[in-house]
Structure 1
Amino acid sequence: MTWATGVGSMPGDDQRDYDEALRTVLGELPDLAHLPEVPGRGAPAGMTGRGLAVMADLGADLQPAGWRLTDAPGIDHRRARSLLAQDLDALEEQAQGYAGTFKVQVAGPWTLAATVEKPRGDKVLSDSGARRELAQALAEGVRDHIRDLRRRLPSVDRLVVQVDEPSLAAVLAARIPTASGFGRHRTVHPPEASEHLEWVLGAIADEGAEPWVHSCAPETPWQLLRGAGARGLSVDLDLMTAHDHDVLAEALDAGETVALGVVPSLDPERAPTETEVTERVMRWLDLVGLDPTTNGGSLVLTATCGLAGASPSWTAQALRLIAAGARNLS
């Protein structure tokens, strides 16, 4: 069976929009639904704010320059945690009896290190001790998050945690700007990058959940992510290189999950048909020499990235298209 799911973010700017996004996801993606993110509600609901809400032990606050670590949670950090709890309450109410596979998303350690500042300024990325502490706090927070989700969704037997790492490629290539904007942070070497990811992905696996990694950035090191413990890779098919295709084919052949982004995440001038979506996936499988009848069970269809910038009508249509494409491939 081929599956369909969303990457995570959905359009909207208030709680009613979140409730509607949740209804849409549960209705259109009954086999692999996900916890929607509605970042239009403000920084506490964005990817970084949601990641800090999950993180254990460390405090943070929102400054004019962005999120910064602090000795104790500031008002915006408390708001991020409260909003996450509120969203989970809504999920628990709407998803009573849901028994399919369920997915949640959290910002990864390197994306957080590249976007959050140390208490005295400059990114966490600039300090090896600070980035280690942040990654370990995230790993511990993810454990608590998974336990809370299992309590709220007792009928779900397969839980997926998608770690979002859109900044990983830039971290490895020394493309993250310093606070002044005139320089770039030094590259992080692959062994350290892998180690920090292993802490987070290992914590997910230790709790009996399935660790995926998503990135819609070019040059994402998919082989490194597999080596760090990712058992699912969520990719934008338009950004794949020949080497990436080989890595994804190896992952599928090994029984790991590949989530292919095949539907635009923004309103297109002309929407693809479900036949075109299906045929595009079939061409890719043929390109990498895989058979949908034997490898389709590990294949998931998604939009190319999050849908926060799309219109509500295209969002619903995009989810219907990937669901129809998954049914056709099955």
Structure 2
Amino acid sequence: MPGEDARETARTVTGEVGGFPFLPELPARGPGADMVGRSAGMLVDVYAHLQPSGWRVADRPGLDTRRARSWLDEDLDALEEFTQGYTGPLKVQATGPWTLAAALELKGGEAALRDPGACRDLAASLAEGLRAHLAEVRRRVPGAEVVLQLDEPSVTAVLTGRVATASGYRTYRAVDRAVVEGTLRDVIGAAGATGPGGTPVVVHSCAPDVPFALLHRAGAAAVSYDAALLAERRGRAEEEVGEAVEAGLALFAGVVPATADTAAGTPSGAGRMSDPAGSVEGVRTWWRRLGLPPQALAGGVVVTPACGLAGADPEYARRALAHCVRAAGSLARDPE
């Protein structure tokens, strides 16, 4: 979310999407409130500090770790204030193990992705941190049915060997798909996210060629994606998504433009806040083309903004969230 005011943002989130509120991230506040820094602050027995080149693993916690944890505590305080008596789903999010491995540097300056042992240690530390984080959220909002989102924008680059080295002249070797899947499965399972009564996990990626089937096999209950990118896929890639949906995967479709400038450039009703049905027409069309049952559409799709909402102004972000609720309602009223 845009802005720096945790209380005002929590008020907006709980007011506009009251049926599915979430714990906001406010990266405009600076280091430690960003996606990677925030999750680095959750790690157990692994610490990170900020260098000019990015976040780097450290031997002990320092100012940057304390700042990240302080921002998170402030956000939790605000969310707790505005969810008194709330019961229902509540989403929290953290950076996934492969995006962390691609973003966090080891002491020599290269990404943890270069070292398989470091990747394993990082994933184990993240799993421990997520367990503690989820327990804290449940303590503060006792009626919450917590949904965990793992942000993995780099997972496609990890799988295809497109993560650049520190020099920028080479890329790291692609990680085997079985290793990527197994690590995600371990993190999802260790965080208590599998089995009856567990925490459903949504894996988010705004990259092209999201590996839907792999993420589902790893234990993701849903995949969050930018719908415009999926609309560009055809043939076998599109069928793979349909097969995963038929097997029980839910979709978080990023169909509402993230900023006012993007909305102004979208065709037909997709970017107009006055046309909720137009925003989800592409999802309906794609669903029909794959032959998926129309009656399953409303229950299988969550409507979200596309990536980049933190770059919007706060008023547009508020309207975008409210528009998501209306667009989702149009799916429920007219699944065909």
Pairwise same-fold verdict (TM > 0.5): yes
Question: What is the aligned partner in structure 1 of residue 244 from structure 2?
Answer: 251
Question: What is the aligned partner in structure 2 of residue 75 from structure 1?
Answer: 63
1:178 to 147, 165, 169: 165
1:192 is displaced (CA, Å) by 1.2
Map 1:114-153; keep pairs closer than 5 Å.
114-153=102-141
- Aligned partner of 2:73: which letter? A
Question: What is the aligned partner in structure 1 of residue 220 from structure 2?
Answer: 230
Map 1:185-224; keep pairs closer than 5 Å.
185-204=172-191, 205-206=193-194, 208-224=198-214
1:86 to 74, 82, 91: 74
Map 1:285-300; keep pairs closer than 5 Å.
285-300=287-302
- Aligned partner of 1:194: which letter? E
- Aligned partner of 1:134: which letter? L
Could you report, residue by residue, the CA deviation over 1:55-98 in whole angstroms, capped at 9, with x for unpaired residues?
A: 21111111111111111112111110111111111111111111
The count of aligned residue pairs is 317
Is 1:164 the counterpart of 2:166? The answer is no
**Aligned residues: CA RMSD:** 1.6
1:244 is displaced (CA, Å) by 4.3
Q: 2-side partners of 1:244 and 1:47: how far apart?
A: 29
2:281 to 269, 279, 282: 279
Question: What is the aligned partner in structure 1 of residue 255 from structure 2?
Answer: 262
Given that residues 253 and 295 in structure 1 are in contact (C-alpha distance below 8 angstroms), is that contact kept between their aligned partners in structure 2? no
Give the 3 Å change call, closer, same or farther, for CA 252–295 of structure 1 in structure 2.
farther
Given that residues 147 and 201 in structure 2 are in contact (C-alpha distance below 8 angstroms), is that contact kept between their aligned partners in structure 1? yes
Given that residues 252 and 295 in structure 1 are in contact (C-alpha distance below 8 angstroms), is that contact kept between their aligned partners in structure 2? no
Is 1:110 the counterpart of 2:95? The answer is no
Question: What is the aligned partner in structure 1 of residue 2 from structure 2?
Answer: 11
Give the 3 Å change call, closer, same or farther, for CA 295–328 of structure 1 in structure 2.
closer
Q: 1-side partners of 2:297 and 2:329: how far apart?
A: 15
Question: What is the aligned partner in structure 2 of residue 301 from structure 1?
Answer: 303
Given that residues 49 and 57 in structure 2 are in contact (C-alpha distance below 8 angstroms), is that contact kept between their aligned partners in structure 1? yes
Given that residues 251 and 258 in structure 1 are in contact (C-alpha distance below 8 angstroms), is that contact kept between their aligned partners in structure 2? no
Q: 2-side partners of 1:141 and 1:234: how far apart?
A: 22
Moved over 3 A (4+): none
Counterpart secondary structure, 2:98: helix
- Aligned partner of 1:229: which letter? G
In the superposition, the TM-score normalised over structure 2's length comes to: 0.90
1:194 is displaced (CA, Å) by 1.2
Given that residues 103 and 159 in structure 1 are in contact (C-alpha distance below 8 angstroms), is that contact kept between their aligned partners in structure 2? yes
Given that residues 252 and 299 in structure 1 are in contact (C-alpha distance below 8 angstroms), is that contact kept between their aligned partners in structure 2? no
Is 1:23 the counterpart of 2:11? The answer is yes
Given that residues 169 and 221 in structure 1 are in contact (C-alpha distance below 8 angstroms), is that contact kept between their aligned partners in structure 2? yes
- More relative contact order, 1 or 2 (CA 8 Å, 6+ apart): 1
Is 1:41 the counterpart of 2:29? The answer is yes
Given that residues 30 and 100 in structure 1 are in contact (C-alpha distance below 8 angstroms), is that contact kept between their aligned partners in structure 2? no
Q: 2-side partners of 1:122 and 1:319: how far apart?
A: 38
- Aligned partner of 2:248: which letter? G
1:49 is displaced (CA, Å) by 0.8
Given that residues 277 and 331 in structure 2 are in contact (C-alpha distance below 8 angstroms), is that contact kept between their aligned partners in structure 1? no
* Percent of residue pairs identical: 45
Q: 2-side partners of 1:320 and 1:251: how far apart?
A: 29
Given that residues 161 and 209 in structure 1 are in contact (C-alpha distance below 8 angstroms), is that contact kept between their aligned partners in structure 2? yes
1:164 is displaced (CA, Å) by 0.4
Q: Which has the higher mean CA deviation after the structures are superposed, 32-41 or 278-287? A: 278-287
Q: 2-side partners of 1:296 and 1:275: how far apart?
A: 13
Q: 2-side partners of 1:221 and 1:252: how far apart?
A: 13
In the superposition, the TM-score normalised over structure 1's length comes to: 0.92
Give the 3 Å change call, closer, same or farther, for CA 133–150 of structure 1 in structure 2.
same
- Aligned partner of 1:176: which letter? V
Q: Which has the higher mean CA deviation after the structures are superposed, 284-293 or 39-48? A: 284-293
